[in-house]
Structure 1
Amino acid sequence: MRLLLMGPPGSGKGTQATRIAAGLGIPAISTGDIFRANVADATPLGRVAREYMDAGEYVPDQVTNAMVRDRLAHPDCEPGFLLDGYPRTLQQVHELDSFLDEGTNRLDAVVELVVDRDVLVDRLLLRARSEGRADDTLDVIRRRQEVYAEQTAPLTAEYAARGLLHAVDGDGQVELVSERITGLLAGLGATSTR
């Protein structure tokens, strides 16, 4: 399966991405991991990305798009993949469409983890305290939730219009949420490798 997993900060998206990808035997691909790998390997794209990152700037879409395109061309992505953190803009959605079309692939599903905003805020405050993140204040956490909602609304609308968007309740224990996602994906034809 070719999947995109979306969810606001605190939804458990990273944890679920790893679990679901392992269960399906496909790579979980996050833009953060792609950036780190390219920078560590000093690839041409990694050197460009590092310049922006060292300056505290966002890495431009064209660099991000090129890194994702390159990663999806690796042989381990042939049976499928799970994208985490990309696309983040409508422009990136269309760019993803263009390079998936080159390989006659399309996304099979977009899974959005839905969690009540107050639950998310509580989770992130607890994590901030346990990890000593003094800069993760209530106001900062609430603002991140607002920014996520504003930025992803066009993406969820686009994928809903295509019939690809599937909302999954992301509240509850990790295993329970994993079971919900696995059940959804099984209904869409995914088979577990476990």
Structure 2
Amino acid sequence: MLNIVIFGAPGSGKGTQSAKLIEKYGLKHVSTGDLLRAEIKANSPLGQMAESYMSKGQLVPDEVVIGMLDELIKKNSDVEGFIFDGFPRTLEQGKALDEMLEKNGQSISLVLSLEVKDEELVERLLKRGEISGRSDDNRETIESRLKVYYDQTAPLKEFYRRQGKLHEIYGEGSIDDIFAAMEKVIDSFAQ
């Protein structure tokens, strides 16, 4: 099974590249935001628990999110693998994800980190904000999101580097060039 974590700062192209990876390798996309919304809509016990936090404006605890991921993986044992997009976001989540996968006889195969300079990230997000009208794509919010990324998510790079799973991908240039660099890593792993 091919389990990939894709991460990078906001605006690095995770969503765009995830879609291409899913199409080429037949992976199941795992977005924790989508998962939370689906569980809440289904009114499952985990969804009810998640909603109790979200309705108060609080973050859903890691153990609830991991529980949802565990259910998803058990329900989809027939897929080629998973692509984790936007999760894990912290070192604690990375460790919890590893433990949960291990209990299911799986592991993260590789981690693709899209590396993009801050100036490029800001430009991309400002442009996205102009096109989509997303109110959170303004300079102040973007800089705040980048700070959170560097403080909380970037330490995961060292965690996965120590496991020999981290592959840094130059995330600037054409979408197809970036995808080709990712394919090269995945195809060399899969052989």
Whether the TM-score (by the shorter chain) exceeds 0.5 is yes
1:93-115 deviations in whole A, cap 9, x for unaligned?
A: 22112121122212110110011
My pick for the range that moved more, 172-181 or 5-14, is 172-181
How many residue pairs get aligned? The number is 190
Give the C-alpha shift of residue 60 in structure 1.
Answer: 1.1
Equivalences for 1:122-137 in 2 at 5 Å? 122-137=123-138
Residue pair 2:91, 2:152 contacting (<8 A) in 1 also: no
For structure 2, the 5+ residue unaligned runs are none
My pick for the range that moved more, 75-84 or 24-33, is 75-84
Equivalences for 1:69-108 in 2 at 5 Å? 69-76=70-77, 78-108=79-109
SS at match of 1:175: helix
Residue pair 2:128, 2:137 contacting (<8 A) in 1 also: no
SS at match of 1:188: helix
* Compared CA separation, residues 94 and 117, structure 1 to 2 (3 A): same
1:29 is aligned to 2:22: no
State the match for 2:141 in structure 1: 140
Give the C-alpha shift of residue 81 in structure 1.
Answer: 1.0
Q: Distance in 2 between matches of 1:29 and 1:65?
A: 12
1:131-172 deviations in whole A, cap 9, x for unaligned?
A: 223453212211211110111222111100111100001112
Residue pair 1:27, 1:76 contacting (<8 A) in 2 also: no
State the match for 2:185 in structure 1: 184
RMSD (Å) for aligned C-alpha atoms = 1.6
SS at match of 2:134: coil
Residue pair 1:52, 1:58 contacting (<8 A) in 2 also: yes
State the match for 1:62 in structure 2: 63
Residue pair 1:112, 1:165 contacting (<8 A) in 2 also: yes
Identical residues among aligned pairs (%): 36
Q: Distance in 1 between matches of 2:33 and 2:40?
A: 11
Q: Distance in 2 between matches of 1:108 and 1:86?
A: 15
Residue pair 1:26, 1:77 contacting (<8 A) in 2 also: no
Q: TM-score, normalised by structure 1?
A: 0.91
Give the C-alpha shift of residue 175 in structure 1.
Answer: 2.0
Q: Distance in 2 between matches of 1:67 and 1:38?
A: 8
Residue pair 2:30, 2:85 contacting (<8 A) in 1 also: yes
Give the C-alpha shift of residue 5 in structure 1.
Answer: 0.6
1:163 is aligned to 2:181: no
1:53 is aligned to 2:77: no
